[in-house]
Structure 1
Amino acid sequence: MKSFRSFLPRPQAPRQLVCFPHAGGAASAFRGWAELVGPTTEVVAVQYPGRQDRFGDPLPENIPSLARWIADEIEPRLIRPTAFFGHSMGATVAFEVARRLQPRFPSRLARLYVSACDAPPAHHRRTTDFADEEIRDYVRSLGGAGAALLEDDDLWQLSLPALRNDFRMIETYRYLAAAPLTCPVTAIAGDTDASVSLADVQRWQELTIGPFDAVVQPGGHFYFDDSAAGLAELFRDDSRWPVPARIVEV
């Protein structure tokens, strides 16, 4: 399928984890995760248009339209228990995909993990009308492995259109109240992330009637670059993400 990449296919695994990248990010951010979570889970990464092997595809207009497209494409994959993990902008995209799928497949989404992102009702409207070098400095300030790549001028020029478009989508995103999710939600914050606090992520509790917990990981905005093993421990914990004996068709 056009929007998804599995770097270590495990079609027989009893469950799958679908990962949504941050602004400017790509599916390759999750390349090594399959080895970390183990053989019971297939890791599937979303590839947004306009980057890497989708460089020539038109950039999405806004987060809701991107979420509708992903939701339509992901339907055939929902044949086993599935969890979503979204980081930063990806958390908002994952949430919008989940709320579109829930009415049709209420038992298929096992858990939503939202990482380093304020809850949509408390969405911080940060201006993104920056000059190119201001964007570069902001991305650099967030840290993470991806920021180091921006020191390559050619790579920076290639990545700038998608990054600027992602920033525009974040700035123009407006949460519209609707029925809450029914799946469990785990919100994750880095303990030294200056851009998103634990209090910010705790407000995700307002968006589900299912179980909720908030988890702090050591590190900044891209905490998993240094502590991915700790994050993988959450994914491997069956008490958080049970594998049901069967899936109830609706």
Structure 2
Amino acid sequence: MTTQEEFDLWIRRLGTTDHPKARLICFPHAGGSANFYFRFARAFTDLDVYGVQYPGRQDRRREPFRNSIPELADEIAGHLAEWNDLPVVLLGNSMGALVAFEVAFRLESLGSPPLSLFACGRVAPTLRKDEGTHLKGQDAFLREMELLGGMGHELLQDDEILDLVLPPMRADYRLAETYRAAPGTRISAPIHVHIGKADPKVNEPEADQWRLSTTGEFTLDVHDGGHFFFTDNAERLVAAVDHCVENAESLSR
């Protein structure tokens, strides 16, 4: 049984409403934190929105990094499995999409399936994309960060900030680059994939392979923008999540 203290360590409240129709659980990218989704959460008026806080960063920086995405997913699913008084939608960006997929698989096995999974900015779980980024020296690694646009140029020049963000970022890249779903791993929940047209890390054919990871509905949407397209262009993604919840609500009446 998960204690409230343990639960709050992993699952951070980002936005609430008086009469929520569902909960949206957001999974950050490599090196990211739950608060990355704070601005995004404010766009929802009918959902309670939460972000997952991985170990090894910010207020959890003294905790050890986990050794694999499945290990991370085991712990997160354990905290979410009994929280089933409302429908749950999972949304992950980049590495977070892989973590969300593995959590969805575990929740289904535990009898608490999510309503749907939104996967953003990541190749399908069946495709291992190891570019060796986590093994690169600091200068090459920082060039990769700048390419993706997840951190401003000024932050990448600040040694104090780099000392805080580089260890979790490198550890997360190792998890993402060495991950591949176990053969035959599928979920029954719908998978809705959203990518940026200019994302250097995933193209449409790679994103389309997510259809092999579900026995349910599959959609693919391409947006203007890059790897973090929804930080400035979130309207269509927000509308898609809202539509998913509204459609499920109408079917249950």
SS where residue 57 of structure 1 aligns?
coil
The answer to whether the aligner puts 1:194 opposite 2:200 as a matched pair is yes
The answer to whether the aligner puts 1:43 opposite 2:49 as a matched pair is yes
Q: TM-score, normalised by structure 1?
A: 0.91
Per-residue CA deviations over 1:189-228 (Å, capped at 9, x if unaligned) read 1011122111111100001110111011110111112102
1:75-90 to 2 correspondences below 5 Å: 75-90=81-96
Partner residue, 1:117:
122
Q: 1:33 aligns with which of 13, 34, 40?
A: 40
- Identical aligned pairs, as a percentage? 33
Q: Contact (CA 8 Å) 1:21, 1:89: kept in 2 or not? A: yes
Q: 1:100 to 1:178 in 2, by over 3 A?
A: farther
SS where residue 109 of structure 1 aligns?
coil
One-letter code of the match for 1:212? F
SS where residue 227 of structure 1 aligns?
coil
SS where residue 5 of structure 1 aligns?
strand
Query: Alignment length, in residue pairs?
Result: 245
Deviation at 1:245, TM superposition (A): 7.4
**CA distance in 2: counterparts of 1:246 and 1:23, whole angstroms:** 36
Deviation at 1:32, TM superposition (A): 1.6
SS where residue 19 of structure 1 aligns?
strand
5+ residue gaps, structure 1, are: none
Q: 2:216 aligns with which of 202, 210, 213?
A: 210
Partner residue, 1:3:
10
Deviation at 1:146, TM superposition (A): 6.0
**CA distance in 2: counterparts of 1:146 and 1:183, whole angstroms:** 36
CA RMSD of aligned residues (A): 2.0
**CA distance in 1: counterparts of 2:11 and 2:204, whole angstroms:** 30
Q: TM-score, normalised by structure 2?
A: 0.90
Deviation at 1:132, TM superposition (A): 1.4
1:80-159 to 2 correspondences below 5 Å: 80-105=86-111, 108-128=113-133, 129-144=135-150, 149-159=155-165
**CA distance in 1: counterparts of 2:79 and 2:250, whole angstroms:** 24
One-letter code of the match for 1:193? D
Q: 1:239 to 1:49 in 2, by over 3 A?
A: closer
5+ residue gaps, structure 2, are: 1-6
Per-residue CA deviations over 1:62-118 (Å, capped at 9, x if unaligned) read 111001011101123222111100100000111111111112225x41110011100
**CA distance in 2: counterparts of 1:184 and 1:164, whole angstroms:** 31
Q: 1:134 to 1:242 in 2, by over 3 A?
A: same
One-letter code of the match for 2:58? Q
One-letter code of the match for 1:121? T
Q: Contact (CA 8 Å) 1:115, 1:189: kept in 2 or not? A: yes
Deviation at 1:143, TM superposition (A): 0.9
Q: Contact (CA 8 Å) 2:122, 2:207: kept in 1 or not? A: yes
SS where residue 243 of structure 1 aligns?
helix
Partner residue, 1:20:
27
Deviation at 1:170, TM superposition (A): 1.7
Q: Find runs of 4+ consecutive structure 1 residues off by over 6 angstroms.
A: 244-247
Q: 166-175 or 207-216, which moves further after superposition? A: 166-175
The answer to whether the aligner puts 1:180 opposite 2:186 as a matched pair is yes
Q: Contact (CA 8 Å) 1:62, 1:169: kept in 2 or not? A: yes
Q: Contact (CA 8 Å) 2:145, 2:151: kept in 1 or not? A: no
Partner residue, 1:166:
172
Per-residue CA deviations over 1:34-61 (Å, capped at 9, x if unaligned) read 32021x1011100000111211111111
Q: Contact (CA 8 Å) 1:145, 1:225: kept in 2 or not? A: no
Q: 185-194 or 2-11, which moves further after superposition? A: 2-11
Deviation at 1:168, TM superposition (A): 1.3
**CA distance in 1: counterparts of 2:195 and 2:162, whole angstroms:** 27
